[in-house]
Copies of this chain bind each other. A is one copy, B any other.
Amino acid sequence: MKKKVAVLGATGMVGQRFVSLLNEHPYFEVTSLYASKNSAGKKYKDAVNWVIEPPIPSYAKDVVLKSFDERVEEDIVFSALPKEVADTLEIDLAKEGKFVFSNTASHRFDPFVPILIPEVNPHHIEAVKYQKTEGFIITNANCSTTGLVIPLKALMEKFTVKSVFVVTMQAISGAGINGLSALLIQGNVLPYIEKEEEKIESETRKILGEFKDGFILKSLPVFARANRVPVREGHTEVVFVETDADCEDAKLAFKNFVGIPQEISLPTAPEKPILLHEEMFRPQPVLDVNSGKGMSVSVGRIRKNNGFLTFTLLSHNTIRGAAGGSVLNAEFALKEGFI
């Protein structure tokens, strides 16, 4: 018996990924799709401007979209809501007893809301017990943060990490379907993404921190610079880590890294959370973004210099960094008995 789930914000970039990834999911069955007033009442296939390569799943095509102010029947909710709607709606849903798995930044720093990546900070899920609502909110990290903390965690399991510098080269899909004008990015680099650097810096410290009656941020200097590049999918990040790990240490740590999702074989968990590349010209978005069905982080170009380890990572921003991350969180919460 599959659990019924609703997808909120189903027509956007991340919503489309939810609709696609939840197709024939072993645990979950999508029974409602929600969108803004403009789309509500229309069939999904008529309202959506479908922009991802896997075609619209049959199950979704003729679903009539509900509006955000309609009551949600399902117990489990995947949220790809715009921030201004999520600010209150996600809390209302949690109060009504819903289990909300959210992509939105709204509640990532609420007192007992975890930013969960089950390979990295599985115990943070305990925080939901402190949420004063019948249901709960579990968020996943910003797309750039997600790619970064997975290899950082692999290093920190065995080595000291003193500081982190990261420069991102982010894909246009991260801005949503209509979030970035072609004229601005065509053949160009944009040297700034609003609020992205702050998110990477603060979320990394929270995810890598502890939870004991409350979140204790990791005392780790993180210095992020976010750029947009003309790539469709996949955020590339160059990372400098002040650490005692040398190149071979780091390679082993990356190669052998697994987490609970791998151990308990969650359906969306990739066999390898980190794919290590030895070739000089990898990882590349065009060739590697879909590794592990978009759930593996590809890491390469490992080098050590002057006390700093450096590497380049690539992560699928709308799968691992968004909808896929939420689906994995829901699988994890279900199997661990939180739902």
Contacts and interface: CB of A to CB of B under 8 A. Distances in A.
A59 interface: no
Interface string A272-304: 000000001111111100100000000011000
Interface string A215-246: 00000010101010111100010101000000
A185 interface: yes
A191 B229 CA distance: 13
Contacts of A231: 186-189, 230
A189 B223 contact: no
Contacts of A236: 189, 191, 227
Contact of A240 (B165, B182, B191, B232): B165
Given A184-B182, A191-B312, A169 B227 contact: yes
B182 A230 contact: yes
B232 A192 contact: no
A189 B225 contact: no
A232 B286 contact: yes
B310 A223 contact: yes
Nearest to A235: B189
A43 to B, nearest CB: 14
Interface string A155-189: 00000000101010100110111111111111111
Given A182-B184, A191-B281, A285-B187, A230 B232 contact: no
A308 interface: yes
Given A53-B286, A188-B231, A192-B281, A172 B183 contact: yes
Given A221-B306, A227-B236, A287 B189 contact: no
Contacts of A284: 188-191
A85 interface: no
A163 B306 contact: yes
A162 to B, nearest CB: 11
Contacts of A38: none
Given A191-B281, A225-B238, A282-B191, A232 B186 contact: yes
Contacts of A280: 192, 194
A230 B232 CA distance: 12
A53 B181 contact: no
A285 B232 CA distance: 13
Given A240-B165, A301-B191, A53 B287 contact: yes
A58 interface: no
A264 interface: no
Given A163-B306, A182-B184, A192-B301, 10 more contacts: A53-B287, A165-B165, A177-B181, A178-B183, A179-B181, A189-B229, A190-B284, A191-B283, A223-B308, A230-B230
The 5 A-B pairs at the shortest CB distance, nearest first, are namely A167-B167, A182-B182, A191-B312, A187-B187, A188-B286
13 contacts: A53-B287, A163-B306, A165-B240, A172-B186, A173-B183, A175-B183, A186-B286, A187-B230, A188-B284, A189-B229, A191-B301, A225-B238, A230-B231
